[in-house]
Structure 1
Amino acid sequence: MVGCLITGITQKAMIQWTIKGSGYFDVFFVNTLGLPFFSGFAFFFLLIAALIYVGLKFAEKNNHNFLKLGLWSFAFIMFGTFSSYFTTLARSNANPALDMSNVDNPINLVSYLAREQYGDWPILYGQDFTAEVADVKTEETYVKSNGKYEKNGRKSSYVYAAEDKHLFPRMWDASNDQGHADYYAGWAGIGKDKDGSWERKPTVGENIAFAFSYQMTWMYWRYFMWNFAGKQNDVQGIHMSNVRDGNWKTGIGFWDTARLGNQDTMPDSVKYNKANNKLFALPLILGLLGLFYQFKKDRNDVVAVGLLFFFTGLAIVFYLNQAGNQPRERDYAFVGSFYAFAIWIGLGVLYVKELLQKLIKSDSGANIAAAILCTLAVPVIMATQEWDDHDRSKKTLARDLATDYLESCAPNAIVISYGDNDTYPLWYAQEVEGIRKDIRVINSSLLGTDWYINQLRYKVNQSDPIDPIWTPEQIEGATRDILYNAPKPGVDPNQYMDLYTMMKDWAGSDDPNKMEQGRDGSMLNIFPSKKVSIPVDMNVVRQNGTVNANDSVLSSIQFELSKNYIYKNDAAVLNIIAANKWKRPIYFTSPDGSGLGLQPYIRQDGLTYRLVPVKNADVNRDWVVDKMMNKFVFGSADKKGVYYDEENRRHLNSIRYAYAQAAGNLADNGRKEDARKLLAKCDKSMLEENFPYGMVSRNQLHNQFSLQMAIAAYKAEDTVLAAKIVKSVKKDLEQQMAYYSSLSDSKQEAMQNEAADAERMLKGLQQLVTQFSTPQQPAPNAEAPGQIKNPPVVKKAADTPKH
């Protein structure tokens, strides 16, 4: 308990409060005393050092050994640990190309260490996801501006009524951008009334049950068993009742069958998945033997290792309070507890040796026998089962995918991407590999922060500065975090307003006549029209290659904003587009064009989608043929024996889908030879043994992407490739149906949606074959079987803080 208390004090008081104190010292020294930045910060730590010195002298003089030890420990944490963050401060002040969080002053360091960008969540006491917000608590924040710290912006947090709060809240997250609230509601059987409100609150008992069944069993013990009992496959397990995806298994037939159904009837794509690891629970058994052996020998040591196991495993589960429907598996968060259990595995060898010694009656013989037996039973079997799905020696997909995105773009382009996973590979390719450093890669998720928008103003590598329209003062802190739509006299909401004028003269104005008063009396920035237009300079777009010679170029593009509000990150995107005035190519990594209503003006240029003043341009045909034939690389998918996990397959499907889109469009426009070349390039660059066309996936997305490839092959009259794809997909779907039929009634019920999807796709597949086997039949329409309604690369919500 004392250790827990010390850990808590260290985490909160020493790491966060001391840095916050140094920040307030710096504010006082800069704003009140007129001294330079970091003067108060330096004085604060010099003062701490002086106090520690005085305390050590006192402890030495009075022989207070515990005080002396405590002060030295405190000094080590303060100066040994925090000294590493001095490099972060120094790096940020140098303004490098990538400067996350802009930690160039003590105030920003406070936010950086507290991980404020990931939000906060209740642990011991708090609200349920059904709770209504009773009030909003605000705290003034400081920003570095004009040689001093200025109050500009408020940090807001929700306040909930006392009756909506209780101990041990495990179903807390009301946000639904990742389906968290819906997951809770589905688990607890809570519906909505006719007004859209939740019918009831989850009970305390349901919160406790959710903690044990989902957070502990599904999101921890399942990962634990992956490592020490065995793993079913690499498909992410979303729902606890799903017996097909991401479960733990042992390879012991009767045990696995009882839990998951007959594993021999599984489709080949998961039965022979390289992440199907049969450990026969031998590491688990040896570890339990080691735990028992240590308990017999020294119970104090068991407590020590047990606490290590607990605090790096279940305690983290308790602290993270993970919401349902996580965007990815979180096994990496608990690796410390797996290391702790490995200690018991090592001790298990000693226990096996002790048991064998009773039979063999020879120390050396028992030592050799135990070493051989335990090595074969644990390390050897783990290597034979798990090496192939952990071997990354040949895989270059992250770099190659980034290369494909960058090479899809014209020179000096601006690329707007979504989320860390889609952005960091592009930054790596530029900063480390030196690929296409003329392109400015912008992470739209970060555009909601002032520091990231301000970084657009500078030249980075070979990429020219970008005009974000608003000045640094206009976006400081929480200023313009959200814009509201509000009609204004003289502005006709039925007429299209120039986007640049709206964002600069209205949304960027501090004139009270161009603002609205909020409920609390504060003035709110607004945009007066949801209908906006961007004028097109014909000479510019034709001279710089934005449009092709035969394109029907519009004099302006007109679109409508769908919401009554705009967050800062979306407003920043609109500003970039408006201020650019078609001078630089603007690309998106998602075909929805940031979800701002720009879809009719988005054209596929490979893996990226370019904003063009042409309506329904679809595909830049000459461009994609050149880039996709000569520039694209495939992450070693053309080499035998390379393993791609589910996330890798998602990105490979992005490439495959891009080829299918381009080839289908070429075929529709009479260029069937070029279409066949593209399809052949894609097919040969992704070996079926590495990346089969027919494969189990969540919501049948993998097979849907493959069917798009088949449709493109049919259109291009490549019947051999089409038949190859259809055969693979059909085999997988039929095997899926056989597997679902073999399950017990309760397990079948849990898989009914997947079974229905498979059955529907099988029928659609047959219709597809029939359609293209009959001469002069029209191509499949938008509702044809296998049509992708949600492209593989979509705008994603920011990740949750459960890291």
Structure 2
Amino acid sequence: MAGAIAVVTLLFPIGILGKNYYTHNRSQDYVAHDYAYNILQSCPPNTILFTNGDNDTYPLWFLQYVKGVRRDVRVTNLSLLKTTWYVKQLRDLEPKIPIGMTDQQINQQVTARPWRETKDIPLAGLTIKGEEIPTAEYLAGNSSQRIRVLESHSYMIWWIVQKNNWERPIYFSVTVPESNMAGLKPFLSMEGMGYRLVKERAPGQFDVGLTADHLMNTYRFSGVADQNVYKDAVARRLLGNYLVLFDGLIRAYLQQDLPAMAFQTLQKAEVLVPPHSLDTPLVWASMANHYRQTALKFAEAGRPDSALVCLEELIRLDPETTDRQQIEETIRTWQHQIDSL
């Protein structure tokens, strides 16, 4: 009897291990590592990089301080930027940020402040429109009344931009929401995994050349396409940000009447970030729709053979598309044109 109990006692944890090993095994899981690497490599030398929270900060610090990757980039966490001790670190530790405040001034200035009126803010040659300044509502003391305030991290972003005065590049990680950009979104140009602060005001700025170079030549996607590597929900959501970049790149190529580049980018995107690596295949169904526009561009250019391939790829990736019958009819028509050549 004792022997049987001993056997069961040994087999029980082994069974648990076998059942849960796949979802708990982190070997070959480089999603967070490569995500951090790719953000850092998006930055030119000596960049001041604003990050949002834990997931886009601690992996970067690990790469910098443990592996020695891109220590020239000053990662500046917006959640911590609300604290006086952190602002003092930014001022005092290399690579230093030009804060230009004493300890006493930091203690006084790093705080939320009432923001009752809508007014434009001049900043290092830029003008932030008052209606675009993100604010929050705080309770006023012990009363139930709420007052509109400018949060301390927004004020410190302005302060750093002003003090830097274009001497060093300033970037925001793509993980930073617009509500945390202190009204600077119209002055940001997407360059891969980072938004660069620029002097020109234009919504939706997108650097095609740099983004393409980052995605195709610089970024790492270790294990993303490997179905044997488990990715949890957070990892799968992070991977969706890469598709945002590919999506912007494809749209730019189509606007420039470059269907061959759009097609190559779609193919590369599927290799690097395949549908099974994401939370839902619907994300790729949306991406697949670019094959439709690419097919039209090829057809307009007198290349029905390439157009046909695009439509076949569309059906392969999105077999439930609502107009599948019409697409298949178009494929047959174009195939007939090709055969008659």
Pairwise TM-score range, normalised by the shorter structure:
0.7 to 0.9
Q: Alpha-carbon deviation of 1:657?
A: 2.3
- Alignment-derived partner of residue 711 in structure 1: 289
RMSD over equivalenced CA pairs, Å:
2.8
In the alignment, which of 460, 467, 472 is matched to residue 103 of structure 2? 472
Distance 1:459 1:373, change over 3 A: closer
Other structure's SS at 1:604 match: strand
Shift of 1:683: 1.3
Matches of 2:116 and 2:3, distance apart in 1: 81
Deviation (angstroms), 1:437: 1.6
Counterpart CA distance in 1 for 2:102 and 2:328 is 61
How far residue 381 of structure 1 moved from its aligned partner, in angstroms, is 2.4
Give the secondary-structure state (helix, strand or coil) at the position aligned to 2:71: coil
Partner of 1:624: 211
In the alignment, what sits opposite 2:299?
none
Matched residue, 2:71 = 437
**Corresponding position: 1:421 with 2:8:** no
Counterpart in 2 of 1:675?
Answer: 262
CA contact (8 A) 1:593 1:609 kept: no
1:582 matched to 2:174? The reply is no
Of 93, 115, 119 in structure 2, the residue corresponding to residue 530 of structure 1 is 119
The letter of the residue matching 2:89 is Q
**Superimposed CA distance per residue, residues 517-546 of structure 1 (whole angstroms, 9 cap, x where no aligned partner):** xxxxxxxxxxxx63123354xxxxxxxxxx
CA separation of 1:720/1:771 partners in 2, compared to 1, >3 Å: closer, same or farther? closer
Q: Distance in 2 between matches of 1:618 and 1:771?
A: 36
Deviations 1:318-358 (A, max 9, x none): xxxxxxxxxxxxxxxxxxxxxxxxxxxxxxxxxxxxxxxxx
CA distance in 1 between counterparts of 2:289 and 2:14 reads: 46
Give 1:559's aligned residue. Answer: 129
Offset of 1:443 from its aligned partner? 0.4
**Does structure 2 retain, via aligned residues, the 8 Å contact 1:414–1:587?**
yes
**Other-structure match for 1:686:** 273
- Distance of 2:67 and 2:20 partners within structure 1: 30
Which residues of 2 match residues 453-468 of structure 1 at below 5 A? 453-458=87-92, 460=94, 463=95, 465-468=96-99
Residues 405, 607 of structure 1: 8 Å contact kept: yes
String of CA shifts for 1:355-385, please: whole Å, max 9, x gaps.
Answer: xxxxxxxxxxx23333334544x22321221
Determine the structure 2 residue equivalent to 1:145. none
Deviation per CA, 1:256-306: give whole Å up to 9, x if none.
xxxxxxxxxxxxxxxxxxxxxxxxxxxxxxxxxxxxxxxxxxxxxxxxxxx
Between structure 1 and structure 2, the one with the greater Rg is 1
Aligned in 2, Cα 1:565/1:406: closer, same or farther, shift over 3 Å? same
Which whole-Å CA distance do the structure 2 matches of 1:428 and 1:693 have between them? 26
1:65-104 alpha-carbon deviations (Å, 9 max, x no partner): xxxxxxxxxxxxxxxxxxxxxxxxxxxxxxxxxxxxxxxx
Higher relative contact order (CA 8 A, sep 6+): 2
Distance in 2 (alpha carbons) for counterparts of 1:392 and 1:566 = 41
1:605 matched residue in structure 2: 191
Please show how residues 216-255 of structure 1 align to structure 2 within 5 Å: none
* 1:372 and 2:14 correspond: no
Q: Is the 2:63–2:69 Cα contact (8 Å) retained in structure 1?
A: yes
Q: Which residue of 1 aligns with 2:307?
A: none
Which residue does the alignment assign to 2:86?
Answer: 452
Q: Say which SS state the counterpart of residue 766 (structure 1) adopts.
A: coil
Give the C-alpha shift of residue 387 in structure 1.
0.8
Q: TM-score, normalized by length of structure 1?
A: 0.35
| 2:134/2:150 contact within 8 Å kept | no
- CA-CA distance at 1:639 after TM superposition: 3.0
Match runs of 1:285-684 below 5 Å: 366-376=1-11, 378-458=12-92, 460=94, 463=95, 465-476=96-107, 479-485=109-115, 530-536=119-125, 556-560=126-130, 561-563=133-135, 564-589=148-173, 590=176, 592=178, 594-614=180-200, 615-684=202-271
Identity, % of aligned pairs? Answer: 27
Distance 1:587 1:720 in 2: 40
Distance in 2 between residues matched to 1:693 and 1:725, nearest whole Å: 16
C-alpha separation in 2, matches of 1:602 and 1:771: 41
Aligned counterparts, 1:719-734, within 5 A: 719-727=311-319, 730=320
Question: Quick one: distance in 1 between partners of 2:253 and 2:34?
Answer: 25
Amino acid aligned to 1:724:
R
CA distance in 1, matches of 2:177, 2:267: 24
- The AA in structure 1 aligned to 2:184 is L
Q: Is the 8 A contact 1:408 1:627 kept in 2?
A: yes
What stretches of structure 1 of length at least 5 have no aligned partner?
Answer: 1-365, 488-528, 537-555, 696-702, 731-764, 776-803
Rate the CA distance shift 1:773–1:607 in 2: closer, same or farther, 3 A. Answer: farther
- Quick check: 1:417–1:588 contact (8 Å CA) kept in 2? yes
2:129/2:183 contact within 8 Å kept: yes
Aligned with 1:609: secondary structure?
strand
Q: Give the TM-score of the pair, scaled to structure 2.
A: 0.77
For structure 2, list consecutive stretches of 5 or more residues without a partner in the other structure: 136-147, 296-309, 331-341
Q: 1:772 to 1:576 in 2, by over 3 A?
A: farther
Cα deviation for residue 414 of structure 1 reads 1.3
2:141 aligned partner? none
The verdict on how the C-alpha distance between 1:419 and 1:694 changes in structure 2, with shifts beyond 3 A counting, is closer
Q: Give me the whole-angstrom Cα distance separating, in 1, the residues matched to 2:194 and 2:328.
A: 33
The alpha-carbon deviation at position 645 of structure 1 amounts to 0.8
Give the number of aligned pairs: 299
State the shift of 1:479 in Å.
5.0
- State the AA in 2 paired with 1:609: Y
CA distance in 1, matches of 2:312, 2:167: 45
SS in 2 for 1:575: helix
